[in-house]
Amino acid sequence: PHDELHLDVLFTVVGHKKCLADVTRLPELFLEMLKTDGYTIIVADPDEQVTLGCNVVCISDHKVIAVKENAETIRRLRKNGVDVVEVSMPNVIKWGGGPRCMTCPTHRGL
């Protein structure tokens, strides 16, 4: 979407063929492509968009770090088999960041 700075504000892969998405703000074509490719889409709570509910860090297959204030999105992740490590980041959230914003991508061999 044209009004978002980073994709991880609306979408993050959380495990093999599983993702977290704000389906109210992503293009339908993108969501259909995910479904066609066999992804399970966990719907993030749109009310938690302001606290970046989709901005989680995937630390292993189906295990993420998430901001504890995003309780409904965390509940949905757990309901879909994702292990969630909750952290408190009030100052990071206040300035428009989230857990993934505090990381640096590295190359992982698969």
- In this prediction the pTM is 0.86
Pick the CATH number of 7-100 from 3.75.10.10, 3.40.640.10, 3.40.50.1820, 1.10.1040.50: 3.75.10.10
pLDDT bin (cut points 50, 70, 90) of residue 110 is low
Pairing of strands 18-21, 11-15: antiparallel
Is the pLDDT score of 1 beyond 60?
no
What do you get for the CA distance between the two ends of the chain, in Å?
30
For residue 78, the cross-strand partners are none
Cα-based distances in Å from 19 to 1, 14, 43, 90: 17, 5, 9, 24
Is the pLDDT score of 5 beyond 90?
no
Maximum separation of any 2 CA atoms in the chain, in Å = 38
pLDDT, tens only, 70-86: 999 999 999 999 999 99
